[in-house]
Every structure is written in structure tokens, then in C-alpha cells.
Structure 1
């Protein structure tokens, strides 16, 4: 499709927004208190361009939180609909921890946008379905409410990110602890990890 005067500005807008999001993720992962000017610099845009997209830091952080949830939903959507559930959920947990590590700066952010709840529900729905299927197969403790169990997985991810953010544990150590905790709190007794 040929580039027209109408499509060129729109492409620039989308490219700048993507650059801002990518630059902010990279910078805030290393320096969570970075200024908007530093974020603009990391994104390769000027400050005016950054403020045309996000009028304040809260708007930017809400967009970054939405991106984290979209990445989480993408990983959750890959959960298989057949076969063993616990190994698939272990892989999901590991992938979700990787996402949590990338976006751990969000832990310091007080979310105020209620639209994020819908995004969280979308990211969690495949996990809830997998847990229900695991309960039907006898792999996951049938006494657990699937929504609560999915919340436990989310809390493991948040816990890992928090421990790493504070420097209390390495990512690898926290990841291993999350896998052990997952196995001992959600899986049926025969699926649990033994010491």
C-alpha cells in the first residue's frame, strides 16, 4: 500500500508511542525513579513528543501496566487445552516470572485506572480454565477455587518480582522457590515437589 500524507503521520505517532513504551520499560527496569526527560531520552524522542502521548507519569505507568498485562495474556493464551496441566502451568509460571521481572518497576506504582481490572481478568481467564481442567484430571487439588488458585500464581509472580527488586534474592533463587511453592500449594499431593 502506498504511503500517503494521511497514513504517514499516523505511522509516526504509532512508532513514537512504541518507542516511548519500549524505552520506558528498559529504563524503568534499571532505574524506577527516572524522570520523564530521562524516559524521553531513552525512547529517542523529545520531551514534547512524550507529553503528547502521556500527559503525566501516571498515564505512562498505566500504559506500561496495560502492556505488562497484555504480555501476560499472550503467555496465558498459550496454555494447552489438552494434556497434562501441572507441567503446562509450571512453564506458564516461569514465563510469567520473566514478564514480572521485566515489569517489576510497576510494583512501586499505585494503579488507579479501573480498566486495568478487565485486562487482568483477560490475562487470568486461561489460567483459571487450565486449573479447572487440572482439577478434572486430578492434577490440582479439587478443594481449591480456580480463581483463588490463579490468584496464587499471580501472587507468586509478584512475590518474585518484589524479592528481586529489593535485592533479597536472585532471580534464579526466587524462581526456584516459586516453583516449589506452586507445587506444594496448588498441585494435588502426588504432583507436589519433594525436598
Structure 2
């Protein structure tokens, strides 16, 4: 009986390690090429194609798990940004810098997920962690007189996100370097909010 329990625990631990290896490989390879094959992911993870499908029933499910993983990492990076110290403008710029670093690392995965057909409700749900933080900083800036208070923080948050998407699209198209896009985004966001230039 005890041997059976140990065997079951060992099989569970092996399965968890295998799943983690698949996700590690998928995150790296899909980040470089969102069209990369399941076979390539399996080879990089050191498992068979069948093992990948034992954990993820489809390529779409695997992509969803990778997206959930990088979203969790993105939220952790944004959590590390101190939104309450300094001026709201400084906090907003720190948040934009953290977002730029996330996009530099995982942008292709986010763009591939964004290209998939999702409902407006699902799109909004995916952006909630970013929207909540933007609204928090913008509300603080409006109360302090740093930002335009004629429009709602929610609207400004949506505009900032769309500007971020535009900056990412310019980088993907080769029209701007990542540094130039980051500078353009910071400048545009400050102008939209009628914040002091930096």
C-alpha cells in the first residue's frame, strides 16, 4: 500500500516536471515564433509529441497556458512597481517602463493572442490587471492636479493601452526601434493626460 502511494506521488511529480518543461519550452519558442510547431516544442522540452498532447489537448490549449503564464509574470512585474511614491506622473512612467520590459520579453505571445478572435468582454477581462493600475495612478494624478480631469480615468486607461498597442505594432512592423517606440509612447501618454513634459 505504501509502495503504491509512493509510486503515485512519483508519477505526479514526473507529470508536473514534464508539464513545466513543456511550458518552459513553449514560452521560449512561441515568444520567438508564435507559429512554431508542437513537434518543435516537444523536442525542446525533451518529451514526445504525445506527451505534449497528454498535458494539453490542443495547440490552442497550450497557447492559452503559455499566455496565462506570461500574464502572471506581467502582473507580478506590475505589482513590483511602486505606484504610491513620488508624483503620479513618475509612477505612471514607471508603470509604462515595466510594461515596455514585459512587451520586449513576451510581446509576440501577447500579439499572437490578441490576433485570435476574442469577444470584447474577453479582451477587457485580459486587460483588467493593466486597466486597474492605470486607473489607480490616473485617479491620483487627477486629484493632485497633474492630469486632465475632464475625462474619466477609465477612458484614459483605455487610450493608454491603445497607444501601447500602436507602439508595439510599429516595432513589429520594423517602423520604429523599441527605444524609439517607448519614447514616443511616454511622450504621447503625457500629452493625452496633459501632464508635465519629462
Q: TM-score, normalized by length of structure 2?
A: 0.81
Q: Distance in 1 between matches of 2:9 and 2:19?
A: 16
Q: Distance in 1 between matches of 2:9 and 2:43?
A: 26
- Answering whether residue 188 of structure 2 is matched by residue 181 of structure 1, we say yes
- Answering whether residue 170 of structure 2 is matched by residue 163 of structure 1, we say yes
Q: 1:18 to 1:30 in 2, by over 3 A?
A: same
More helix by share: 2
Q: Distance in 2 between matches of 1:151 and 1:16?
A: 39
- Answering whether residue 112 of structure 2 is matched by residue 108 of structure 1, we say yes
Q: Return the offset for 1:173.
A: 1.4
Q: Distance in 2 between matches of 1:128 and 1:71?
A: 20
Q: 2:83 aligns to what?
A: 80
**How many residues are matched?**
189
Segments of 5+ residues of structure 1 without an aligned counterpart are none
Q: Distance in 2 between matches of 1:130 and 1:117?
A: 19
- Specify which structure has the bigger relative contact order, considering alpha-carbon pairs within 8 angstroms and separated by 6 or more residues: 1
Q: TM-score, normalized by length of structure 1?
A: 0.82
Q: 1:186 to 1:15 in 2, by over 3 A?
A: farther
The answer to whether the 8 A contact 2:21-2:45 is kept is yes
Segments of 5+ residues of structure 2 without an aligned counterpart are none
State the Cα deviation string for residues 108-165 of structure 1 (Å, max 9, x = none). 3305487675453234312211211111111221123211222223223322322222
Q: 1:47 to 1:180 in 2, by over 3 A?
A: same
- Answering whether residue 179 of structure 2 is matched by residue 172 of structure 1, we say yes
2:92 to 89, 94, 116: 89
Q: Distance in 1 between matches of 2:166 and 2:44?
A: 28
Larger radius of gyration: 2
Moved more, 12-21 or 54-63: 12-21
- Answering whether residue 197 of structure 2 is matched by residue 192 of structure 1, we say yes
- Answering whether residue 126 of structure 2 is matched by residue 122 of structure 1, we say no
Q: Distance in 2 between matches of 1:82 and 1:28?
A: 36
